[in-house]
Amino acid sequence: MIDFKKELNSEQYEIVQQGDGYVLVLAGAGSGKTRVITYRVAYLLEKSIAPSAILLLTFTNKAAKEMLTRVEKLMGEKVKGLWSGTFHSVASRVLRVEANAIGFEKNFTIMDQDDAEVLLKHCLQEEGLDTKSKKTPAASTLLSMVSYARNTELPLDEVIELKYPRFMAFTDALKSVAERYKREKRRANVMDFDDLLTYWLELLEDHEAIRNKWAEQFKYILVDEFQDTNKLQAKIVRLLAETNKNLFVVGDDAQSIYSFRAADIHNILNFPKEFVGAKTFKLEINYRSSPEILLLANGVISQNKKQFKKTLKAHHASNVKPHVMGHMTPAQEAQYIVQKVARSASAGRPLASMAALFRSAFAARALEMELVKNNIPYEFRGGMRFFDRAHIKDVLGFLRIISNHKDRMAWLRVLPLQPGIGHETARTLVERIMVQGDLEAALQSIANVSLPARARTGWDNMMSIIQEMKKRGSHPSGFIEGIAKSAYADYLKDMFENYEDRLGDLEQLAQFASHAKSTKDFLDSATLDDAYGSKDKVGNTRDRLILSTIHQAKGLEWDTVFVINLVNGAFPNERALSEAGGEEEERRLFYVAVTRAQRELFLTY
């Protein structure tokens, strides 16, 4: 038997004991919400509730596995039959049983994102849209549009106007593409991730017998991270809980930071109104951070109007106040952070106990460069490392052909970027280049070849980029500056909404290359140094500083945290501030960032 009163604090014990009915648990950062959920499940099992009558919904497979492992440890045995998993994985299990009711075969295939994009690209072509045109949304962009529309239950044309106004001229065509995409999926007996939720909800709303069957089975429903649910997920749990009326949701409105994924904070804010008679509990004892850090966190989040008021109380003893440091340039900011990290590492503190957090991956580029210069290994989370980004690899490709004109892979990377040159034409050109003695001879050999008009335009474009590079001497930093002023910059402007961030990356790359002795040395370093863009090998336990977006850091903690680039327009984000509810979400994002810190917190700009 588990001694719940001994193993839980008073707040947690009360929740576990009184968790029947409609229950909202407001779990502040670091307050032990996972402990509450796992002990609540164990409590139900000790009360002889059948595992198959318990449904535990999470947002990651990792969280589901961790909770089940903890429950089994508490029970001292394997727990078989408990329904535990993400919304999507549980939806898949239900649909495998009930697919025929909505016109699918039970052996339907679940498409991953790549498969979905391939099918959408086909649908774009079938509807007569030019998928090679820079004005037409890419399949990945359209998939994001359709996904957001479905998870918010907004019409697609409204989503385009709200989130993708540059594509408004294509609204009718894109609506036709979305309808074709839906038909093609059904015809092929396949579903994408959003279909899993959509069709699960359809089963519950439109098929009373099926709804009753599952609602009767799940006598107790528990939902983790309820503040991250979207409209579909909230409707699903409400319908499943109608029969037994035992719905136990845990979340923190102050950590609702995923509206861009269609998460709806109103699901948690309106829970007491939606479920009349619901009990609300608060977990306010924080087992992570110092009182000084919590004083800052409480003060910041108190400015939000749409929230449940709560005050985090520290379990740990007093420590140093958070540090605020301003700098004249991003480079100086990066130098300050690296100095602090190096000093802590020299004192014996593991790099992995420290993290630098940022609003977007582009904010970390100066810090990445400084870490590389100082040979400090790091792990990048929530985006691509600097040297893994496509535009950086493009620029390195241009440098590689200057350094070695027979670098086949470099040519095959940069040539298809030029208008009118496809992969077949690129391969043909490369075969001619490979037999030439040097770069000048290679360029001249193509100049003398008869090419189709569009391909000739593309080659002339390529030549103009090389000429811009050579105008600036023979040093890699000059080459990169030339690329940033060439037709390649026009390509970035035409292809990417965040082209300014990408051009900023090229500026940072040029500054970093200024320390290299030669182009060859620079390329060797970029390829061979483990601190650059190489992927970590499985099982690599090397100590590394953590660089992470704040979104990716949610749920994690470190001894020391640097929240960087706290510059107006960057964080808080200018675009987010222009959206409804954006200011409060930016404040919640900052709250999540500072509550990752256990002992020391640095706020820099």
Catalytic residues: 33-34, 224-225, 255, 596
The C-alpha atoms of residue 270 and residue 393 are separated, in whole angstroms, by: 47
Report the amino acid identity of residue 151: N
How far out from the chain centre does Cα 569 lie? 20
With helix as H, strand as E and coil as C, how does 294-308 read?
Answer: HHHHHHHHCCCCCCC
Record the tokens describing residue 39, joined without a space: 């002990």
Q: Say if residues 368 and 333 touch (Cβ distance below 8 Å).
A: no
Nearest C-alpha neighbor of 595 from the set 557, 566, 565, 568: 557
How far out from the chain centre does Cα 355 lie? 17
Helices (runs of H) and strands (runs of E) counted in the chain = 29, 16
The C-alpha atoms of residue 287 and residue 535 are separated, in whole angstroms, by: 34
**Segment holding 86, helix H or strand E:** strand 83-86
Record the tokens describing residue 165, joined without a space: 């106004």
**Segment holding 222, helix H or strand E:** strand 220-223
Nearest C-alpha neighbor of 285 from the set 586, 585, 593, 14: 14
With helix as H, strand as E and coil as C, how does 507-519 read?
Answer: HHHHHHHCCCCCH
Q: For residue 140, how many other CB atoms are within 10 A of its CB?
A: 13
Peptide bond into 572 cis (omega under 30): yes
Q: Is 245 exposed, middle or buried (0-12, 13-18, 19+ CB in 10 A)?
A: middle
Record the tokens describing residue 468, joined without a space: 């811009």
Q: What is residue 385's three-state secondary structure?
A: coil
